[in-house]
């Protein structure tokens, strides 16, 4: 009788990375178990034994994405010397990351499950919370700029944070549609051209 379970050469991290790429290209709903098992080199029982469920696999894939392919954008926000530099970093790093190499374009966290009627409301809500965390990071950096005197006390930090987060999310969609790096950088430049009006 054939043994069931993971192959002897199973590399969990490599398999998870391949699953991440499937989810990144197709989104949560459109990534079938057949797609995932084929990419990972696992049969369904092995996948469930290693990751518990499709939801469990996706959650781990998102963590891996945030630590690897999705890193380098948000980490620079708090370290930027000014709030303006922080917003510029957000958009310019996004343009570079979303058009890098042969990996899927755009952001897994933005594109993974945006539909209101997602097959997994828990996954949909988890990604929404992650996107809102990004807005919070921007708002906190802007509030710091107010405290440091870079921005006036009446600056609407929530509105500015939501504006730049929305531009960044839109860049993800444009990247998925095939926009070039130059196009995304021009979007970033246009958004930064409005900084002086937003920060007075």
Q: What is the pLDDT of residue 2?
A: 42
More confident residue, 1 or 112: 112
For residues 14-40, b (16+ Cβ closer than 10 Å) or e, as one string? Answer: ebbbbbbbbbbbbbbeebeeeebbebb
Contact present, 86 and 141 (Cβ < 8 Å): yes
Instruction: Kindly state the average pLDDT of the residues 12-38.
Output: 95
Longest CA span, the chain: 74
Contact present, 160 and 142 (Cβ < 8 Å): yes
Reduced to 3 states (helix: H, G, I; strand: E, B; else coil), residue 119 is coil
* pLDDT tens profile 156-167: 999 999 999 999
- The mean pLDDT of the chain is 91
pLDDT band per the 50, 70, 90 thresholds, residue 7: low
Residue keyed to tokens 């504006």: 163
* pLDDT tens profile 62-99: 999 999 988 889 988 999 999 999 999 999 999 999 99
Instruction: Lowest mean pLDDT of 5-9, 128-132, 169-173, name the range.
Output: 5-9
* pLDDT tens profile 110-154: 999 888 888 889 999 999 999 999 999 999 999 999 999 999 999
**Residue 171 CA, distance from chain mean position:** 11
Which pTM was predicted?
0.89
Between CA 181 and CA 179 the distance in angstroms is 7
Q: What is the pLDDT of residue 1?
A: 38
User: In a 10 Å sphere around its CB, with 0-12 CB exposed, 13-18 middle and 19+ buried, how is residue 151 labelled?
Assistant: buried
The DSSP secondary-structure symbol of 100 reads S
The DSSP secondary-structure symbol of 82 reads S
Between CA 105 and CA 101 the distance in angstroms is 9
Between CA 45 and CA 63 the distance in angstroms is 23
């Amino acid at each position: 009788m054939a043994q069931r379970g993971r192959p002897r050469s199973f590399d969990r991290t490599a398999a998870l990375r391949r699953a991440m790429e499937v989810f990144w290209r197709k989104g949560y709903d459109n990534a079938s178990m057949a797609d995932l098992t084929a990419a990972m080199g696992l049969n369904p029982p092995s996948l469930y034994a290693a990751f518990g469920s499709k939801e469990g696999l996706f959650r781990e894939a998102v963590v891996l994405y945030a630590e690897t392919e999705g890193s380098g954008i948000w980490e620079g926000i708090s370290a930027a010397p000014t709030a303006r530099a922080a917003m510029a970093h957000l958009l310019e790093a996004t343009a570079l990351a979303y058009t890098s190499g042969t990996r899927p374009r755009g952001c897994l966290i933005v594109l993974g499950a945006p539909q209101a009627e997602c097959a997994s409301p828990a996954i949909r809500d988890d990604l929404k919370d992650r996107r809102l965390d990004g807005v919070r990071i921007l708002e906190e950096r802007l509030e710091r700029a107010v405290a440091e005197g870079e921005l006036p006390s009446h600056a609407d930090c929530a509105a500015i944070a939501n504006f730049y987060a929305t531009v960044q999310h839109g860049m993800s969609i444009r990247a998925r549609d095939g926009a070039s790096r130059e196009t995304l950088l021009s979007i970033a430049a246009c958004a930064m051209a409005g900084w002086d009006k937003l920060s007075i």
